[in-house]
Structure 1
Amino acid sequence: MVRIVAIAAGVVYSLALVLSGIRLDSTTKMLLGWFPAACSLLLVIWDVIGWRLPGLQKLTHRPRIDGLWAVTLKPTIESHIPDGGNRGPISAYLVVSQSYWSVHARQLTEQSSSDSRSFYWSRPAGADVDRLTFLYENTPLPEHRSRSPRHQGLCSLDVARLISKEIQGNYFTDRYTQGSMELRLVDRSKGYASFAEAHQHTSNP
């Protein structure tokens, strides 16, 4: 929606110049008239794909992490996991959709799914690339909600390279659980609705 609005605003402004009766009777004036629309389009191209180009990506320090990741969650011994819960290691998948200005992460396990609600990029002192931190909301499957209620948490991914195949991370939740994460890139595919669907994809490449 933001991309559509950006392009629409530029085009409307340029059309308004034409319809207002202002005569753009030279190449320079024509270029100035359509400059806002062109800038809006360039911003959208940058957001979707431009920042991923090797030369430009090095300037932004923004790592590319979109795609399907196989995840191993390792809760700490101190985590308050209800009786009957999985004390780990826990197998999961993380599906990441990413542009330059937006990120959405969806984690899938056999018992629940989690969706990111807000995020920010930061770069620790001396680091070569940005680190992603996001808040998320976990929704257990109906058959597990009596034991494991809906909860929120925070996840931090320590991305070491601009193009990574493995990522280390940490998480903690408001139900007093925490642990480490190990991520391994499967491929750049997205759109998985369940753990079973993602697992089937990885089992049948």
Structure 2
Amino acid sequence: MFNLISPLKMISVVLMLFGFGAIAAIYTLEKTQFSAANPYRTVMILASMYDLLLLCLAHFGWRWIWRKIPLLSSLLFPDLNGQWRMTIHWSGVDGRGEVEANAVIKQSFVSFSIEVQSDGSDSETLVVQPKKDPESGRPILYYVYRVIPKGGQDSAASSYEGAAILKFFEEDSHGLRGNYFTSRNTQGRFELQRLKT
């Protein structure tokens, strides 16, 4: 999600907040004569506390903020963390079919992954890029993954890559849907339905 906001804008906001916080803290500490002995120590303590706060917010605190201010889901990007039921519709030279799978989405303010498990294979995330559609504002995931078939000794050699564009449909019980294609010349459609967060 970090890349949904301009990095320069984010740096500017962080520096501005740090500046206001440092000025307020130093002013308060000066009144209590705490920082008179060693002002450098005071500044280092404040900087360390601020870094710890930013680290906590980037990894899990943002979810609390998103719950308290639901408008952020539509302004920035929704919280997609949780377990999802996934239906994979596929077609290729061998025919067509449908596979049921389980997906786990792990999202923080700085990272995103989608892990999928089915009876026949597991998949791992190579790249997930969250974006907003410039016209409609709909959340979109550009998802590149590697599928590792379960089974025999040569399953590692038969792994393959795929790519998908998944759109978020809030009105549809918070579902994700989109088309995909793979390096095995198969293509199809993913449909994900959230189970729990």
Shorter chain as denominator, the TM-score bin is: 0.5 to 0.7
Q: Does 1:37 align with 2:48?
A: yes
The CA deviation at 1:65 is 1.1
Is there any run of 5+ residues in structure 1 with no aligned partner, and where?
1-22, 189-205
Letter in 2 for 1:80: V
Amino-acid identity (%): 24
The CA deviation at 1:144 is 9.3
Q: Secondary structure at the match of 2:133?
A: coil
Tell me the TM-score normalized by structure 2.
0.68
Does the 8 A contact of 2:141 with 2:165 survive in 1? yes
* Aligned CA distance change for structure 1 residues 161 and 35 (closer, same or farther; 3 Å): farther
Is there any run of 5+ residues in structure 2 with no aligned partner, and where?
1-33
Give a deviation string over 1:5-56, Cα, whole Å, max 9, x none.
Answer: xxxxxxxxxxxxxxxxxx9427976653323212211221221233332327
CA distance in 1: counterparts of 2:172 and 2:77, whole angstroms: 9
Q: Does 1:48 align with 2:59?
A: yes
Give a deviation string over 1:39-80, Cα, whole Å, max 9, x none.
Answer: 21122122123333232734751211111111111124xx23
CA distance in 2: counterparts of 1:119 and 1:34, whole angstroms: 36
- Picking from 183, 187, 197, the partner of 1:178 is 187
Partner of residue 136, structure 2: 127
Does the 8 A contact of 1:62 with 1:162 survive in 2? no
Letter in 2 for 1:36: A
Moved more, 97-106 or 164-173: 164-173
The 5 Å alignment of 1:18-167 reads: 24-25=35-36, 31-52=42-63, 53-54=65-66, 55=69, 57-58=72-73, 61-76=76-91, 79-81=92-94, 87-143=96-152, 149-161=158-170, 165-167=174-176
Give a deviation string over 1:83-122, Cα, whole Å, max 9, x none.
Answer: xxxx322111111111111112111111100000122122
Moved more, 53-62 or 134-143: 53-62
Tell me the TM-score normalized by structure 1.
0.66
Does the 8 A contact of 2:73 with 2:79 survive in 1? no
How large is the Cα RMSD of the aligned pairs? 3.1
- RCO comparison, higher one (Cα < 8 Å, 6+): 1
Number of equivalent positions: 159
CA distance in 1: counterparts of 2:102 and 2:74, whole angstroms: 30
The CA deviation at 1:150 is 1.0
Give a deviation string over 1:123-163, Cα, whole Å, max 9, x none.
Answer: 111233531112111110124967x9210111222113499
Does the 8 A contact of 1:65 with 1:163 survive in 2? no
CA distance in 2: counterparts of 1:59 and 1:29, whole angstroms: 42
Structure showing the higher strand proportion among its residues: 2
